[in-house]
């Protein structure tokens, strides 16, 4: 066997990444493929046998009311991502301008992102408590007699999660945007100021396009992270009241680990994967329109 120098280098490279690849294959890729295959069976854990049922899980999915409710709730929840990204951009702009206590403010904004989900869950539950919580108390003192039921009402519960999630992602978005704003060349800003552009124009036509790669990154990763969220829903409402805060990931969890219906849960997971791919693909294609790479 004659190994030349180049081949040896390649081999070394492969050997170094092998441990990680073994791990990723064993724990991520193979289970994902197995799950895809499970979607065509009717396996119920912990039984030892299952049958092929072709597309019947997907047929059941299409007729399942709870599935459509979960899908709707997931889409409403995902609406919090662009809101948070937008607010993050504005906050970063302000923070970028030598505000007093800049470091302290930056830390404060970032703290939610590193706090554990359960702690966040309980604090927000208390804040939104309909009878005694601070938000409704303030609303009542302002004269609103029937403030929303927040988490106890089927129509408003999912929006509470939107609010919590905007708050949660804000810190991360701000940090990333602050880094991006550092890259904006001050010469460009000076040039536009000399040309007589007003503040708002500068932001809209100079700064915003220049940070658009960051915006794309934050939107794409934001959607992917948000669509996988389950813990926060389980901790606060466990999908209730009724099904109004059941999102797709929670629906999959309950089907798989509470009802032990693995075949159906895998089918929903496949669907979730398709949604993520669709959202990502749309953004990827649309980026040609609005993302400017320098």
Partner 1 sequence: MKKTGIVLALVLIAVSVLSACSSNGKESGGQAESSAEASKDVVNLTFWGGVPPEAGPQEIVDNWNKENPDIQVTYVRYVNDDSGNLKLDTALIAGQNVDIFANYTKPLLTKRVSSGAALDLSQFTDYNIDDKMGPSAKEWAVDGKYYAMPTKRNMHFVWMNKDALDEAGLPVPTDWTLADVEKYAKALQTDTRWGYTTFPFWRDIVPFDGSLAVQGYVKEDGTSNLGAPIVEKALQAHYDMMHTSKVSPPISLIETTKMNVIAEFLGNKLALLNAGEWMFRDANNLTDYPRDFKVAFAPLPRITQEQDDFRYLGGLGDAIAINAKSEYKEEAWAFLKWYADGGMLPQASGGRIPASKDADQDKAVELLLGDLEDKYDVESLKRILNNDLPTFQVTLPQEVIDLRREEFDKYYIKAQSLEDTINNVAKRHNDYLKRK
Query: How would you write the chain as a 3-class SS string?
Result: CCCCHHHHHHHHHHHHHHHHHHHHHHHHHHHHHHHHHHCCECCECCCCCCCECCCHHHHHHHHCHHHHHHHHHHHHHHCHHHHHHHHHHHHHHHHHCCCCCHHHHHHHHHHHHHCCHHHHHHHHHHHCCCCCCHHHHHHHHCCCCCCCCHHHCCCCHHHHHHHHHHHHHHHHHHHHHHHHHHHCCHHHHHHHHHCCCCHHHHHHHHHHHHCHHHHHHHHHHHHHHHHCCCHHHHHHCCCCCCCCCCCHHHHHHHHHHCCCEHHHHHHHHHHHHHHHHHHHHHHHHHHHHHCCCC
Rounded to a whole number of angstroms, the minimum distance from the CB of residue 36 to partner 1 is 21
Separation of alpha carbons 151 and 125, rounded Å: 8
Residue in 43, 67, 150, 168 binding partner 1, rule: CB under 8 A: 150
* Sole window of 144-152, 173-181, 225-233, 271-279 interacting with partner 1 (rule: CB under 8 A): 144-152
Residue identified by tokens 């208390």 is: 126
Rounded to a whole number of angstroms, the minimum distance from the CB of residue 151 to partner 1 is 5
Minimum CB distance to partner 1 smaller for 69 or for 215:
69
Residue in 10, 18, 185, 204 binding partner 1, rule: CB under 8 A: 18
Two tokens, residue 214: 């960051």
> Does residue 19 interact with partner 1 by CB under 8 A?
yes
Minimum CB distance to partner 1 smaller for 157 or for 180:
157
Residue in 61, 71, 83, 125 binding partner 1, rule: CB under 8 A: 125
Residue in 4, 12, 116, 294 binding partner 1, rule: CB under 8 A: 12
Rounded to a whole number of angstroms, the minimum distance from the CB of residue 47 to partner 1 is 5
Rounded to a whole number of angstroms, the minimum distance from the CB of residue 136 to partner 1 is 11
* Sole window of 94-102, 110-118, 147-155, 223-231 interacting with partner 1 (rule: CB under 8 A): 147-155
Binding-site string for partner 1 from residue 225 to residue 244, where x marks contact by CB under 8 A and - marks none: ------------x-xxxxx-
> Does residue 213 interact with partner 1 by CB under 8 A?
no
| Number of residues in contact with partner 1 under rule CB under 8 A | 43
Residues that bind partner 1 (CB under 8 A): 5, 8-9, 11-12, 15-16, 18-19, 22-23, 44-48, 60, 65, 125-126, 128-131, 149-155, 237, 239-243, 254, 257-261
């Amino acid at each position: 066997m004659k190994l030349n120098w180049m081949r040896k280098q390649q081999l070394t490279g492969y050997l170094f990444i092998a441990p990680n690849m073994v791990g990723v294959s064993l724990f991520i890729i193979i289970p994902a493929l197995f799950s895809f295959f499970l979607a065509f069976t009717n396996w119920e854990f912990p039984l030892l046998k299952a049958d092929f049922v072709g597309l019947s899980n997907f047929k059941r999915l299409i007729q399942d009311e709870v599935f459509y409710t979960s899908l709707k709730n997931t889409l409403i929840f995902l609406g919090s991502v662009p809101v948070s990204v937008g607010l993050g951009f504005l906050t970063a702009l302000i923070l970028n301008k030598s505000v007093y206590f800049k470091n302290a403010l930056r830390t404060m904004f970032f703290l939610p992102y590193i706090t554990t989900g359960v702690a966040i869950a309980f604090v927000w539950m208390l804040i939104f408590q309909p009878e005694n919580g601070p938000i409704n108390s303030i609303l009542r003192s302002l004269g609103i007699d029937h403030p929303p039921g927040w988490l106890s009402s089927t129509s408003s519960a999912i929006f509470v999660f939107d609010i919590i999630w905007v708050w949660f992602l804000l810190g991360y978005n701000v940090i990333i945007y602050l880094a991006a704003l550092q890259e904006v060349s001050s010469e460009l800003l000076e040039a536009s100021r000399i040309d007589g552009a007003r503040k708002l124009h500068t932001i809209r036509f100079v700064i915003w396009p220049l940070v658009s790669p960051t915006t794309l990154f934050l939107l794409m990763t934001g959607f992917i992270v948000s669509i996988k969220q389950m813990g926060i829903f389980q901790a606060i409402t466990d999908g209730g009241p009724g099904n109004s805060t059941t999102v797709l990931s929670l629906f999959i969890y309950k089907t798989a680990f509470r009802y032990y219906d693995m075949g159906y849960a895998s089918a929903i997971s496949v669907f979730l994967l398709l949604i993520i791919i669709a959202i990502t693909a749309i953004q990827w294609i649309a980026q040609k329109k609005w993302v400017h790479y320098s």
